[in-house]
Structure 1
């Protein structure tokens, strides 16, 4: 039997939104954003391969994108970091499923082969570290990175992240890390759906990548910077993020 991603549905009607979380998270880490959007949307919250209810699923980014498309169907996709890379891969490979695309702190990949190889080596070391020290200690180290300095205790969702497993997260690093996926930079002009690229003002790396990606996508792209936020901009300032996304959804009709 083919693997299936764990999903939960919020809301009873309205346009479908599919939410895909980042590394070490689960679908529940979209709270409180998912509850707000579910007031007038059908929100499908997905656990990515190796995470949460999908902890036994093993897939690289391409395979994860295929599973995501089966789980979400035709919809607007919102992806954060790792989840954004998966959603972007789906948009490139199966554009008929992606009505609109929202990417938060998500990279189209690493262009140079030597840099991809270096990142694969770094992710292998990170996976080995996780297997050595265990999940709780690894999460302490992971969340202590400057990337996440703006997350308070609630926004960090540490208790929810502890629902993951060492085996699932290590597999995710080895199979779906950014060093394992092909660069999608050269394919961004192919995107035919509206795209919203979001980054925090303090996340200079991904802010620069969002601006460059917007230039490559062209008139179908909108770039939005959330002031005072870092990498997890949607969790640091959820009210600002929801207001931004709601405004964009209203102004950006679904293509037919």
Structure 2
């Protein structure tokens, strides 16, 4: 089972008891601590944060594919609710960033979160999937390349190159240096394992299935994140662009991101 912890906000104790609880899934290279700055602006009574497989305090929990990753998340959230004496029917809102968004989308589209009362989802910078075999082959070769590097080279050198990829173009040199230092405590071999298990090349194209869901979805991305801004605008999903932000909105603009979560939850009432 994955590591998780529940945030109990005493200041939010007056909030409606059945208010939906957000469940946070971080991105590749991250951990549940990535949401710290967002929480300081978030007015909810409780929230659940999960360390995904091969990350954080779940670094030795390996999975082979998306289905296993979703199953681990499902079991972890159910166990956390039980431990906190909360009913399994407690309404939940999944909030996923990048890899966490892809796991959320896969779990919803493929019905992998059985037993969880998910009332909506917020998807930050998540890729819906590739549509051609050529794209999938190229992506698999790319992910194998990075997986091998993570497993065999000094992690700080690999991270330096990782954060020079196009999707991180909006980062300043200081932001890149900060991220390299922050992520260097990961285990490279485990990152490689998760990268292979959840490669975008192995993910089905999920957008059509997501549009068939009856629960509300909100897609969030930074206005400076050109790739995912285009995906959001073409998706047909409800989306919000956050000004002066790149790929990692919740880190760059935590107050704005928290406000979007609060608005989303309030609209469910």
Question: Same fold per TM (> 0.5)?
Answer: yes
Distance 1:17 1:159 in 2: 28
Specify the alignment match of 1:141 in structure 2: 161
Shift of 1:159: 4.5
Specify the alignment match of 2:3 in structure 1: 6
Q: Does 1:131 align with 2:135?
A: no
Specify the alignment match of 2:60 in structure 1: 56
Shift of 1:171: 0.3
Specify the alignment match of 1:43 in structure 2: 47
Task: Report the structure number with the largest CA radius of gyration.
Answer: 2
Shift of 1:129: 1.6
Distance 1:84 1:7 in 2: 17
Q: Cα distance 1:154–1:127, how it changes in 2: closer, same or farther (>3 A)?
A: closer
Listed one character per residue, the Cα deviations across residues 113-166 of structure 1 (whole Å, up to 9, x for unaligned) are 221121011000011122232222222222333533336559955444233201
Q: Do the aligned residues in 1 keep the contact of 2:105 with 2:210 (CA within 8 Å)?
A: no
Task: Point out the more displaced range, 91-100 or 134-143.
Answer: 91-100
Specify the alignment match of 1:89 in structure 2: 106
Listed one character per residue, the Cα deviations across residues 45-103 of structure 1 (whole Å, up to 9, x for unaligned) are 11111111111122222211111122224511000001000011122213754211000
Task: Point out the more displaced range, 101-110 or 128-137.
Answer: 128-137
Specify the alignment match of 1:218 in structure 2: none
- Superposed, 1:140-159 pairs within 5 Å as 140-148=160-168, 149-150=170-171, 153=175, 156-159=178-181
Distance 1:89 1:97 in 2: 16
Match of 2:24 among 10, 19, 25: 19
Match of 1:65 among 47, 70, 73: 70
Q: Does 1:235 align with 2:251?
A: yes
Match of 1:199, SS?
strand
**TM-score of the two chains, using structure 1 as the length reference:** 0.86
**TM-score of the two chains, using structure 2 as the length reference:** 0.82
Distance 2:60 2:160 in 1: 23
| Aligned-residue RMSD, C-alpha | 2.2
Distance 1:183 1:121 in 2: 19
